[in-house]
Structure 1
Amino acid sequence: MTTARIQLPPKLIPVFSGPARYRGAYGGRGSAKTRSFALMTAVRAYMFAEAEQSGVILCGREYMNSLEDSSMEEVKQAIRSVDWLDAYFDIGEKYIRTKNRRVWYTFSGLRHNLDSIKSKARILIAWVDEAETVTEIAWQKLLPTVREQNSEVWITWNPELDGSPTDTRFRKNIPPSAKIVELNYMDNPWFPDVLDEERRNDQMALDDQTYAWIWDGAYRENSESQILAGKYRVAEFEPGKGWDGPYYGIDWGFSQDPTAGVRCWVYDRRLWIEYEAGKVALENDHIAKFMIDRLPAIERHKVRADSARPETISHVKSNGNGKRDNLPSIEGVVKWPGSVEDGIAHLRSYTEIIIHPRCPATLKEARLYSYKVDRLSGDVLTDIVDKHNHYIDALRYALAPLIKHKSAGLVLSRHQRR
């Protein structure tokens, strides 16, 4: 008999050993939670198929606007990392299934697709990733749909709010039939050097509270170093008549940073962030189409971008690949000494910043964008940590004509006077 070997962080071995209704892991960044659970869904799919059981592996997240927002790519990479799994699965651009067609994956957003989830045939495993934001109502609707004999619910999340529905259900009141552990970067035997360098940088630049939330799985609480603390909230909305905008901004990415775009509005002394688009390693030839596909009507409006890359602006404006996809009205923004600080002051001048749920990357940056903190005294400094700012920078560029240039003595914009 052939024995197959799977590598998991040691703390996860008991989680996947023996029977359980619930299996889960929570903690900070770099713990290999998501990759390990993605891998184990494939292992279990293999076992189901070989046992001639048919059904669905449901991979859910609170918000999922498209497959790009799902766990599909994580599952694909996990399968391809193991030769015998790679040979067993049929992987297409928009599907994953065993080659014998007995088990297949489906990907759903829990916020808007719960009713359709009820109709999924024979859910064998429901894995909810990034589960911190899942509402109690969503849990109440989802769990009864996972009702096959010996079916299971898997949960992975980064804690944020003490008392969130997910945390209350699966951390504070762990069900008797659950195997759930805390997993952080120090529990990951394959924690990469590049992430360790980032962690060390965060340890020096961020306050302890923010650092502990990112890396140690601690609860997130507002700290004085958070630039947008108390200024933003998440809510669904539809732009109305009389709203100013839309305003579009783009921040150019590099090898490790996303090219990020936003579409936003101004109304009632509030900033409304309606759409976002972002991707790492986005080639210049593909930028225009990528933004057109994700930021409605961007090709018909003025677009403001980081002026540090005039060659990119020129390329996106004319689009050198010969296709019609281009942004003819894109232009670089004017910068001045202190323009970043003036932009931050402008963002904080709004009564509120409302972030649509379809903009999770913008929301993440709103939470993490911070001032530096003195390592010894804990004092919040005036210098800004140059991280978690790609969508924030795109916002600044979008709003460039509205931002007050303090040193020039300009008056408040008409939007701010309202």
Structure 2
Amino acid sequence: MTTARIKLPPKLIPVFSGLARYRGARGGRGSAKTRSFALMTAVRAYMFAEAGVSGVILCGREYMNSLEDSSMEEVKQAIRSEPWLDAYFDIGDKYIRTKNKRVAYAFAGLRHNLDSIKSKARILIAWIDEAENVSETAYIKLLPTVRENGSEVWITWNPEKDGSPTDQRFVKNPPPGSKIVELNYTDNPWFPDVLEQERLSDRDRLDDQTYAWIWDGAYRENSDAQILAGKYRVAEFSFEDAFDGPYFGLDWGFSQDPTAGVRCGIYDQRLYIEHEAGKVGLENDDIASFMIARLPGIELHVVRADSARPETISHVKSKGKNGQRANLPRIEGVEKWKGSVEDGIAHLRSYKEIIIHPRCKKTLHEARTYSYKVDRMTGDVLTDIVDANNHYIDATRYALGPLIKRSGALGLMLPKRLQGKK
């Protein structure tokens, strides 16, 4: 018996393993999600045909005026990339089918061809590409037509609007039996150099929100609810002698949250976040050694941490019995007061800029997503802060604790030698 091997991004292997009604991937450019799903439709068509199952692989998009607007070319290229698949399929200008004619591809636009889709015999797989723009009406009509035993619905898309029908169905409220992942260029082992150069160019010339939408699978909209909107950017830098700092902060994790740490500094009324470190499920005994390995110089400086866990601070500060454990001898809890979170946010926003090094990916993610609550009915931005996407942000606030003023005197407290610099 001959075994065929195919290449998939590792993150997609569990998506295509085992039983599932829904399989999908969302994310930015260069992730190989479209090509991978196109390839897997051909693999499944081969498996169906070899098992004696007849039917249709339906490839749909919201808008499709002609085959040129469809996924047909992606499927053809995917089949031709594997000699054993290329030999198994009959490919014409306007059709793709197995040579034994058991399985054929159909291509349709969901907006205008939903009624004709209902007549497609035995839909085995419905793959919806560019699914961000698919309407709720289309889903309501499409899904019941994919009704064969063992039939599946596949979805691939680049997120754009928070709360789109696709987002609501498959991210916020994923149905039972779904296997859907976020897939970005960092998950693609074969990400080409030509796209890497384009990505770096976009990082330098585009605003971060647009860059994040194109490459990191973030929502495109720049909401007024985003706490740090317009205050941060991504740039490579080196920590210079002229910088104040380094300042170190730690936020303690819980069962689902990471213990998060940052190293940052200040220069010319700008905050520079240079290194981050974090892990979910980090044991107290391992915190010091973990941070020492990832935040340069942390063991030599004052480290400011969440004061809500004094027992953890004491543990991390101690070397343990007979000095058997790495420690952070100068760690201390930060002062807190009613409104200290809001005062910390005011402090962060009072910098000219917050520059985040590109290696600090989780800090950058939080800068994009840390937000105020939004009224569900009116859409109004509220003053309450969403308690999420804030672990590295909190660590940054703790690192800067002595510089943060209480309410009534909000503003930026900088070291004297920086005050007045332009």
| TM-score (normalizing by structure 1) | 0.55
Alignment partner, residue 356 of structure 1: 357
Shift of 1:135: 4.8
Are 1:161 and 2:162 an aligned pair? Answer: no
Residues of 2 paired with 1:306 and 1:263: CA distance? Answer: 15
| TM-score (normalizing by structure 2) | 0.55
Shift of 1:166: 5.7
Alignment partner, residue 136 of structure 1: 198
Contact map agreement 1:270 1:353 (CA 8 A) in 2: yes
Contact map agreement 1:248 1:264 (CA 8 A) in 2: yes
Alignment partner, residue 316 of structure 1: 316
Residue-by-residue CA offset, 1:28-70 (whole Å, 9 max, x unaligned): 55774549x8xxxxxxxxxxxxxxxxxxxxxx955xxxxxxxx
Residues of 1 paired with 2:372 and 2:355: CA distance? Answer: 22
> 7, 25, 40: which one pairs with 1:16?
40
Alignment partner, residue 256 of structure 1: 256
Residues of 2 paired with 1:410 and 1:227: CA distance? Answer: 16
Residues of 2 paired with 1:61 and 1:138: CA distance? Answer: 12
The secondary structure found in structure 1 opposite 2:249 is strand
1:116-131 to 2 correspondences below 5 Å: 126-128=189-191
Q: Which amino acid aligns with 1:249?
A: G
The secondary structure found in structure 2 opposite 1:161 is helix
Contact map agreement 1:249 1:303 (CA 8 A) in 2: yes
The secondary structure found in structure 2 opposite 1:382 is strand
Structure 2 residues not aligned, in runs of 5+: 5-15, 25-36, 43-74, 80-128, 130-155, 160-170, 202-207
From the superposition, tell whether residues 137 and 274 of structure 1 become closer, same or farther in structure 2 (CA, over 3 Å): closer
From the superposition, tell whether residues 355 and 409 of structure 1 become closer, same or farther in structure 2 (CA, over 3 Å): closer
Are 1:325 and 2:326 an aligned pair? Answer: yes
Q: Which amino acid aligns with 1:404?
A: K
Residue-by-residue CA offset, 1:143-201 (whole Å, 9 max, x unaligned): xxxxxxxxxxxxxxxx973897669xxxxxxxxxxxxxxxxxxxxxxxxxxxxxxxxxx
Residue-by-residue CA offset, 1:209-253 (whole Å, 9 max, x unaligned): xxxx87xxxx42211100000000000000112110000000000
Shift of 1:17: 2.7
From the superposition, tell whether residues 317 and 61 of structure 1 become closer, same or farther in structure 2 (CA, over 3 Å): farther
Contact map agreement 1:404 1:412 (CA 8 A) in 2: yes
Alignment partner, residue 104 of structure 1: none
Are 1:282 and 2:282 an aligned pair? Answer: yes
Q: Give aligned pairs, total.
A: 264
Structure 1 residues not aligned, in runs of 5+: 38-59, 63-70, 72-124, 140-158, 168-212
From the superposition, tell whether residues 320 and 161 of structure 1 become closer, same or farther in structure 2 (CA, over 3 Å): same
Q: Which amino acid aligns with 2:198?
A: E
Q: RMSD in angstroms over aligned alpha carbons?
A: 3.7
Q: Which amino acid aligns with 2:366?
A: E
Query: What is the identity percentage for the equivalent residue pairs of Structure 1 and Structure 2?
Result: 59
Alignment partner, residue 92 of structure 2: none
Which one has the largest radius of gyration?
2
From the superposition, tell whether residues 320 and 378 of structure 1 become closer, same or farther in structure 2 (CA, over 3 Å): same
Shift of 1:303: 0.2
The secondary structure found in structure 2 opposite 1:406 is coil
Moved more, 294-303 or 10-19: 10-19
Alignment partner, residue 26 of structure 1: 157
1:13-412 to 2 correspondences below 5 Å: 15-18=39-42, 21=77, 25-27=156-158, 29=171, 32-34=179-181, 61-62=185-186, 126-128=189-191, 135-136=197-198, 161=210, 219-320=219-320, 322-407=323-408, 412=413
